[in-house]
Amino acid sequence: MAAVRYHRETVVARAVEVLDRFGLADLSMRRLGTELGVQPSALYHHFPSKQALLAAVADEILERTLLPTAPDAPWDEQVAGICAWVRDATLAYRDGAELVATVWSFGLGASTPYEALVAALRRAPGTDTGVEQHELPEIGARTLLHFVFGHATDEQTQLQAASAGAIEDLPRGGADFAVGLGIILDGLRARVRA
């Protein structure tokens, strides 16, 4: 057989395609190998494990949607902007939210959202002084990400159930998202004021 040679970037791009067309459950090493016309074992030349491959796919998905920077905006607007970016980026690909959340939870890659949120929250008044508030940026960032990933995953699940014809009413996810995010932002503002 003619040996087809790829490099890492090409494999990741193809994995994103497989994910978007067939979903996370079908993104297996064997399936991706078949899609590339290559033995599954060949993928282990590019990635040490499936987890590492998934981490690269998650990072690629996040990089493909630009994080709008607003360096002079108030901290809470920055936080809202980052959360909207994470939502948009993960909703742009099938099972994107679940994938990025999973990768973040096992601690490889997908750390840009967390770091961006911590940086924005550090700009809130009072978070650098005082003992009680000392870890507020980190705890706040995790609380926000749990919400964003959870909400986006739910939304994507419902969207797919709807497109499979199982459910009639389509989710109006944007409004829900704004309300939930607003609740957490109100709580953060109250903590910062204190």
Partner DNA sequence: ACCTGAACACCGTTCAAGT
Site for DNA in 131-190 (CB under 7 A): none
Q: Smallest distance from the beta carbon of 34 to DNA, in angstroms? A: 8
Of 18-26, 36-44, 85-93, 144-152: span binding its own copies (CB under 8 A): 144-152
Residue 17 tokens, joined: 């395609």
One DSSP character per residue, 79-123 reads HHHHHHHHHHHHHTSTTHHHHHHHHHHTTSS--HHHHHHHHHHHT
Q: Using the rule CB under 7 A, which residue among 41, 69, 105, 163 binds DNA? A: 41
Does residue 150 touch its own copies according to CB under 8 A? yes
Q: For residue 45, what are the CA distances in angstroms to 48, 49, 78?
A: 7, 10, 40
Does residue 110 touch its own copies according to CB under 8 A? no
3-state helix, strand, coil in the chain (%, to 5): 70, 0, 30
Q: For residue 135, what are the CA distances in angstroms to 113, 126, 151, 169?
A: 17, 11, 24, 41
In the DSSP assignment, the letter for residue 62 is H
Torsion of CA 111, 115, 118, 120, to 10 degrees: -130
Of 13-21, 32-40, 44-52, 136-144: span binding its own copies (CB under 8 A): 136-144
Q: Using the rule CB under 8 A, which residue among 20, 35, 88, 154 binds its own copies? A: 154
**What distance in Å separates the CA atoms of residue 86 and residue 39, rounded to the nearest whole number?**
34
| Residue count, binding to DNA (CB under 7 A) | 25
Q: In this complex, which beta carbon is closest to its own copies, that of residue 4 or of residue 166?
A: 166
Does residue 162 touch its own copies according to CB under 8 A? no
Of 26-34, 110-118, 177-185, 186-194: span binding DNA (CB under 7 A): 26-34
Q: Could you list the residues that contact its own copies (CB under 8 A)?
A: 105-106, 135-136, 139-140, 142-143, 145-147, 149-151, 153-154, 157, 176, 179-180, 182-188, 190-191
